[in-house]
């Protein structure tokens, strides 16, 4: 498999898609809701996903595509080469703020991450990694992640998870939120993952993410030595929704052991 060729095409397409998104800023968006009134999708999310699908199918007809907006293939396994794409991660920010969103792209072979790209479109910052070859931001090599104590850590955590909710006893994360140096919430899982990779954040926790939210960023974080698991400390399968704990090495184990008690907290895990 010529991974350099796949990587070159992926980079060109991500940049081209970013240009399309930037040029949409002065046009009127067609905004709809999906599963609930706060779950937004725009014509641009759909157009960008279709753009990637067309490019991948023309160039690599044997590859498959898993995309958030549902224009790709249906999956029972991740056998073969699969592009996992979120055309706009952070759609609410895209609509309300025109910033703090990203294109997220991961290319997986038999379920193993080979290429990860997160493109912060507004800042023209492309974070990219190929497994075993280091991770980069716009061609500049990123340093490997090192451990950090909980007391010195900034973690990304959505306020939802420290309010009463269906997924977790909200009291559980309060000691962690109290102990860390600071908490943040950017509203784009893809950006929160690369911020852990670059050290702007030390950890990111979420109770419900889809494969396309995580697939691209996971390759970048892991390439730098960071850890990506669910909140039970298990590997993600990139086929189903799951919880997420991403952190610097060391800090990941500390959070799992001292605050998440290895998953003895989950409630209603089968329901939405
Ligand atoms: C969402 C963002 C958000 C996360 C949600 C995701 P979308 O993705 O990543 O930060 O909290 O769970 O669904 O819908 O904007 O692509
Ligand atoms: Ca997303
Ligand atoms: Ca999306």
Report the mean per-residue pLDDT for the chain. 94
Residues 175 and 128 placed together within one structural domain of the fold: no
d(C-alpha 135, C-alpha 115), whole Å: 10
pLDDT of residue 2: 95
Is residue 47 a part of any domain in this protein?
Answer: yes
Exposure letters 4-24 (e unless 16+ CB within 10 A, then b): eebbeebbebbeebbeebeeb
User: What mean pLDDT do residues 122-144 have?
Assistant: 97
pLDDT, tens digit, for every residue of 216-263?
A: 999 999 999 999 999 999 999 999 999 999 999 999 999 999 998 755
Q: Is residue 53 part of a domain?
A: yes
Is residue 271 situated within a structural domain?
no
- Measured in Å, residue 92 CA sits from the centre of ligand 2 at 10
Residue range 86-129, pLDDT digits in tens: 999 999 999 999 999 999 999 999 999 999 999 999 999 999 99
Helices (H), the chain: 3-23, 43-59, 91-96, 174-179, 189-198, 211-223, 251-258
Ligand 1 pocket test target in 101, 209, 241, 243 with most atoms within 8 Å of CB: 209
What pLDDT, on the 0 to 100 scale, is given for residue 264?
61
Is 50 among the domain residues? yes
Whether 9 and 96 share a structural domain: yes
34, part of any domain:
yes
Same domain, 154 and 137: no
In a domain, 178, yes or no: yes
Dihedral sign of CA atoms 70, 14, 142, 115 in order: positive
In the reported structure, the alpha carbon of residue 120 is separated from the centroid of ligand 2 by a whole-number distance in angstroms of 13
Percent of the chain with pLDDT over 90: 88
Ligand 1 pocket test target in 48, 156, 213, 215 with most atoms within 8 Å of CB? 213
Q: What mean pLDDT do residues 126-146 have?
A: 97
**Together in a domain, 73 and 194:** no
Q: Tell the residue nearest (CA) to atom 16 of ligand 1.
A: 89
Residue that finishes a domain, picked among 86, 115, 141:
141
pLDDT above 70 as % of the chain: 96
Banded model confidence at residue 268, pLDDT cuts 50, 70, 90: low
| Structural domain boundaries, residue 197 | 150-260
Gap from CA of 137 to ligand 3 centroid (Å) = 22
269 belongs to a structural domain = no
Q: What's the pTM?
A: 0.95
Is the pLDDT at 17 greater than 70? The verdict is yes
71 neighbors 49 (Cβ within 8 angstroms): yes
Cα–Cα distance for residue pair 66/87, rounded to 1 Å: 11
pLDDT at 136 over 70: yes
Domain co-membership, 158 together with 62: no
Residues whose CB is less than 8 angstroms from the CB of residue 241 and which lie 6 or more positions away in sequence, other chains included:
208, 209, 210, 211
Residue 226 sits in the same domain as residue 136: no
Alpha carbon of 37 to ligand 2 centroid (Å): 16
pLDDT in tens, 46-60: 999 999 999 999 999
89 CA → ligand 2 middle, Å: 4
The confidence band for 271, taking pLDDT boundaries of 50, 70 and 90, is very low
Q: Which atom of ligand 1 is nearest to the CA of 41?
A: 14
């Amino acid at each position: 498999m010529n991974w350099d060729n796949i990587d070159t095409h992926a980079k060109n397409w991500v940049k081209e898609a970013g240009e399309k998104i930037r040029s949409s800023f002065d046009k009127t968006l067609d905004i709809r809701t999906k599963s609930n009134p706060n779950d937004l999708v725009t014509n641009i999310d759909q157009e960008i996903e279709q753009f990637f699908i067309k490019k991948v199918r023309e160039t690599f007809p044997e590859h498959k595509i898993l995309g958030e907006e549902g224009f790709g293939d249906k999956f029972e396994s991740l056998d073969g080469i699969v592009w996992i794409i979120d055309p706009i991660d952070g759609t609410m920010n895209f609509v309300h703020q025109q910033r703090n969103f990203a294109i997220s792209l991961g290319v997986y072979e038999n379920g193993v991450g080979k290429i990860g790209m997160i493109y912060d479109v507004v800042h023209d910052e492309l974070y990219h990694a190929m497994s075993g070859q280091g991770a980069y931001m716009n061609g500049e090599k990123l340093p490997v992640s090192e451990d950090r104590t909980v007391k010195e850590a900034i973690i990304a955590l959505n306020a939802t998870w420290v309010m009463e909710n269906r997924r977790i006893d909200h009291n559980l994360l309060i000691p962690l939120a109290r102990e860390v140096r600071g908490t943040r919430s950017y509203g784009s899982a893809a950006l929160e993952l690369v911020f852990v990779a670059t050290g702007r954040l030390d950890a990111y926790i979420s109770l419900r993410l889809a494969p396309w939210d995580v697939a691209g960023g996971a390759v970048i974080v892991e390439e730098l030595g960071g850890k990506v698991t669910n909140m039970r400390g298990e590997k993600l399968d990139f086929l189903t929704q799951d919880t997420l704990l991403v952190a610097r090495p060391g800090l990941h184990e500390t959070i799992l052991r001292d605050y998440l008690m290895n998953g003895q907290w989950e409630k209603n895990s089968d329901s939405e």
